[in-house]
Structure 1
């Protein structure tokens, strides 16, 4: 039997080998659910749900709805006990990877390639970014700073100003560059500038 913890590390190696330049973010909040894995690629973001042999389908319907709102494409990685039926539980545009224990290793097999997600909401995708990251996108696109405005307001303005293809690249770049060790300092600096109108 494969558990979530058995799947993760070998899966990261499999994804890196398969996709090349990626960044993995784990356990990201999305609406009322949590994405097991967010895989950042140079021009797209993929949500990945792990359904280990120990998991059930109880929460999957809600999780699918939330993944569909946030990510350009989505995949489910299913333990062998789910391999036969998983396609009945996820939309046809979701990719499916099966995970099977082979001796001391985990073997992955692509059952279905992911297709572009027709339900992605660009507002929600942009909301993944922190305020300093959004500010950097504004700067790159020579936009006003809107420091006194809400994050939602800024997201609306970015969507009006920046072409979707350009924005996809810029969002991915921000996530590739995200540094969890300096973010508190960056947010403090952002707030200080906002307070002083800089």
Structure 2
């Protein structure tokens, strides 16, 4: 019987070996669900759901809907008890990995490669970024600062101005550079500047 905690750490090693340059963000809120893992790649952001042997499919339909809104590509990682039926519960473009413990090591097998997600919503994907990260994308693209405007307004303006192929790379770079130790002071500084400009 494999649990989430048994799968997680070996999975990170497997993903790094397979994809090279990645950044892992755990437990990311997305709509009404939470992504177990967000994997940042240089040219994409992938959502990863873990369904251990102890999990059921009860929430999966809603989770799939939310993953499809936010990420360029999606993967589900399952324990062997789910391996036979998981294809019936996720869209055809979702990748499927199975996890199996052999001796003392965890092995992962690719049941299906992930494809591009046709339902990704760039507005929601941009919404994963914090306001200072959006401000940096505005700066990179020589856009006005719009400090007094809402986050939603700024996202709409970025989507109008920046071609999607460039924006995809810039979003990944912001997530690679994200520093959880300094973000509070960056947000405070951003808010001070916003008030100063009002």
Correspondence for 2:142: 142
User: What are the residue-to-residue correspondences of 1:1-198 with 2, within 5 Å?
Assistant: 1-197=1-197
Structure 1 residues without counterparts, runs of 5 or longer:
none
In the TM superposition, residue 116 of structure 1 has moved relative to its aligned partner by: 0.2
Q: How many residues align?
A: 198
Structure 1 outlier segments of 4+, above 6 Å = none
TM-score, with normalisation over the residues of structure 2? 0.99
In the TM superposition, residue 62 of structure 1 has moved relative to its aligned partner by: 0.2
In the TM superposition, residue 103 of structure 1 has moved relative to its aligned partner by: 1.1
In the TM superposition, residue 26 of structure 1 has moved relative to its aligned partner by: 0.1
Structure 2 residues without counterparts, runs of 5 or longer:
none
Q: Distance in 2 between matches of 1:80 and 1:86?
A: 10
Partner SS, residue 159 of structure 2 = helix
CA offset digits 1:115-147 (Å, max 9, x no partner): 000000000000000000000000000000000
